[in-house]
Structure 1
């Protein structure tokens, strides 16, 4: 069995963000970086599938500058066998259709049985890449999975719907699945596995060799939401409060007109 898991390096969400000078993305200076949280669940599930099957080969893929290799090493230490680094210093400027196109072009002739991705990235949050990869490769996909099983070439998954409802889905491999938070408990890499990860294959491929599709969407501008004014706290008896509230609403309605 051949398995692919796709990860993204993102800033720690506790970082202090500011908009970059060009006004279309955040400034990436002085930020702490980590593996996208959704992708941690994807890596863990891919490693579990590899352990279940036994005779499996697991590749981790990431697009970005040389900096993303540090995050890829964590995936290697968690249990991935090799890394495919798509070298692209302008990865931040690629929209989801392009990102999916790069992944699909890499995977097209390699015969992967299961491709795992996170449901979405924490910085862009489009939720599109995994399902677009499946579409480009003409494979079935199951999105937002919260439970995963594999039996004799069949994926049995549960996916989360609105309102906390879960739907059970069966699909024949090869297929693409996108992973939701809570799917599993990602493991912490042990020191021996961290040391072993340093010796695992981590090849870099120029993005120009894989970028075959043009952008269909452009970010025009990025900005922080405007700060809203504080709330108004009313105190007093119920009847008095009701009269004051009605008066306030009438005043605001007049202003809006």
Structure 2
């Protein structure tokens, strides 16, 4: 069985973000980078399936971006992926979901993958469009937001998280693509021996120009932080005095607004 898992490297969400000079994305200097959280669940599920199937199966991890994404690929290899594919693209952040999906589909279309795993969405853009668009491009069955996964006899049984906490169960024949949600599993920490083994695993580098033929369907016009809001006021003291104080503030604010 041939399995592909697609990952994205994103800034650590604890980083301090500011718009870049072009005003269409954030300034990438001084940011810490990590594997997209949703993609960690995808990698873990793909590795579990690889372990379930044993010999004769192959698990490839793919990522698009500049040289730094090699670190995310190496982490996935240390978690248990067999080989890596790095689509080299210094301008990946400026591509819309359609273009990213087109790149993945162009790579995967003649590889015969039986199952493709992706995260539900990326933490930086959050479009949740790439996985489903790849499935459409390849003509694969697709199920999204999986919080449960099982594979047997050429079919995937998935448990989906729906609105209101309701769980839906779906069954898909392969080839198929699934997107993975928080709670699907507990991603493993790479052990030191596996980190050392990952250094010897193959990472194929492919220039994005060899795969991308699609023009963008959407472009980022501007990127800016939320507007600053006024500070709050903390009132302290006895209830009676607080009521009088609050009424005075509200009357003052009402007068200003008028």
Residue 231 of structure 1 deviates from its aligned partner by 3.3
In the TM superposition, 1:80-229 aligns within 5 A as: 80-229=81-230
Q: Secondary structure at the match of 1:196?
A: helix
Residue 213 of structure 1 deviates from its aligned partner by 1.4
* Deviation string, structure 1 residues 94-134 (Cα, Å, up to 9, x no partner): 11110000001111111111100001111111111001101
Residue 191 of structure 1 deviates from its aligned partner by 1.1
Residue 230 of structure 1 deviates from its aligned partner by 2.7
The reply on whether 1:26 has 2:23 as its aligned counterpart is no
> Is the alpha carbon distance of 1:219 and 1:56 closer, same or farther for their aligned partners in structure 2, counting shifts above 3 Å?
same
Q: Secondary structure at the match of 1:18?
A: coil
The 8 Å contact of residues 234 and 241 in structure 1, kept in 2 or not, is answered as no
Unaligned runs of 5+ in 2: none
Residue 16 of structure 1 deviates from its aligned partner by 1.2
Q: Secondary structure at the match of 1:67?
A: helix
Cα distance in structure 2, aligned partners of 1:161 and 1:66: 37
Cα distance in structure 2, aligned partners of 1:230 and 1:120: 33
> Is the alpha carbon distance of 1:110 and 1:233 closer, same or farther for their aligned partners in structure 2, counting shifts above 3 Å?
same
The answer for the alignment partner of 2:250 in structure 1 is: 248
CA RMSD of aligned residues (A): 2.1
> Is the alpha carbon distance of 1:42 and 1:250 closer, same or farther for their aligned partners in structure 2, counting shifts above 3 Å?
same
Residue 232 of structure 1 deviates from its aligned partner by 4.5
* TM-score of the superposed pair, with normalisation by structure 2: 0.92
Cα distance in structure 1, aligned partners of 2:184 and 2:191: 21
Q: Secondary structure at the match of 2:147?
A: strand
Residue 248 of structure 1 deviates from its aligned partner by 3.2
Cα distance in structure 1, aligned partners of 2:80 and 2:254: 60
The 8 Å contact of residues 19 and 27 in structure 1, kept in 2 or not, is answered as yes
Cα distance in structure 2, aligned partners of 1:19 and 1:247: 36
Residue 254 of structure 1 deviates from its aligned partner by 8.9
Residue 71 of structure 1 deviates from its aligned partner by 1.1
> Is the alpha carbon distance of 1:29 and 1:166 closer, same or farther for their aligned partners in structure 2, counting shifts above 3 Å?
same
The answer for the alignment partner of 1:66 in structure 2 is: 67
Unaligned runs of 5+ in 1: none
* TM-score of the superposed pair, with normalisation by structure 1: 0.93
Cα distance in structure 2, aligned partners of 1:141 and 1:199: 33
Q: Secondary structure at the match of 1:136?
A: helix
Residue 30 of structure 1 deviates from its aligned partner by 1.1
